[in-house]
Each structure stands twice: as structure tokens, then as C-alpha cells.
Amino acid sequence: MQSDQYSYLPILMQLILAVGFVVGTIIISGKLGPKRTSETKDKNFECGIESVGNARIPFSVKYFLVAILFVLFDVEVIFLYPWAVNFKELGMEGMLKMIVFMALLLVGFFYIIKKRALDWE
């Protein structure tokens, strides 16, 4: 049986090795890499297209709202998996709790539909 002070030693060694590799790679590539700069190399471009105008244009909040709602409902659906795996052990109490959970999820979903949060303009 191992003592408690040595049980985390392999994890600590792996962490030190991983951090050391990343830091070492960054330092070595900075020292050994080429240092040639030019106006063409320093020019910004996106996917091979020349940048035109200001990058700080106003962005529609709808995009972020749809993304956040997708993540929210996606994460809530993840809670169905442990419930389904332990369905028999949870019994009727687990079933009632899941019905309440799904009812709240549906209320939220109908609310965002009523507020037209998912409609594109």
C-alpha cells in the first residue's frame, strides 16, 4: 500500500513535464526562429482576403443570444443521460423530478419562442 504523500507524485511529474515542454517549446522557437519582418508579412488578412475597413463594427446581439441559448439547452439535455442510466434505481421519485425538470425546460423554451429570440432579422 502506498503512502498518501506519494499518491499524487505521478500526476505532479506529468504536470511538470507538460508545462516544461510547452514553455521550452515557446522559448526555443522564439530564440531559433527567423526574425525577418516586412510590410507584406505584417499586413492583416482573414482567410486570404485583404482587410478593408474597421474591425470594430457593431455586431448584432442576436448572434450571441442564439449561441448562449443553444449552449443552455444543450447542457440541460446532458442531464437526461445520468437520469436514463439510473432510471430503475431512482424509481417514481426520480421520474417526478425529471417531469418537473422537463416542464421547466419546456416553459423556458416556449418563453424564448414567444419573445422571438430565435428569429433572424
Give the pLDDT score at 2. 55
Are residues 69 and 28 part of one domain? no
Instruction: Report how many domains make up the chain.
Output: 2
- Give the residue among 69, 53, 72, 73 at the shortest CA–CA distance from 61: 69
Higher-confidence residue: 49 or 87? 87
Task: Please give the pLDDT value at position 34.
Answer: 81
Percentage of residues of the chain with pLDDT beyond 70: 90
Asked if 117 and 69 count as a contact pair (C-beta separation under 8 A), the reply is yes
Same domain assignment for residues 120 and 67: yes
pTM score of the predicted model = 0.48
CATH number assigned to the domain comprising residue 108: 1.20.58.1610
| Residue 118 and residue 69 in contact, taking contact as beta carbons nearer than 8 Å | yes
Res. 39 pLDDT band, cuts 50 70 90: confident
Residue of 67 and 49 predicted with greater confidence: 67
Residue 114's domain spans which residues?
60-121
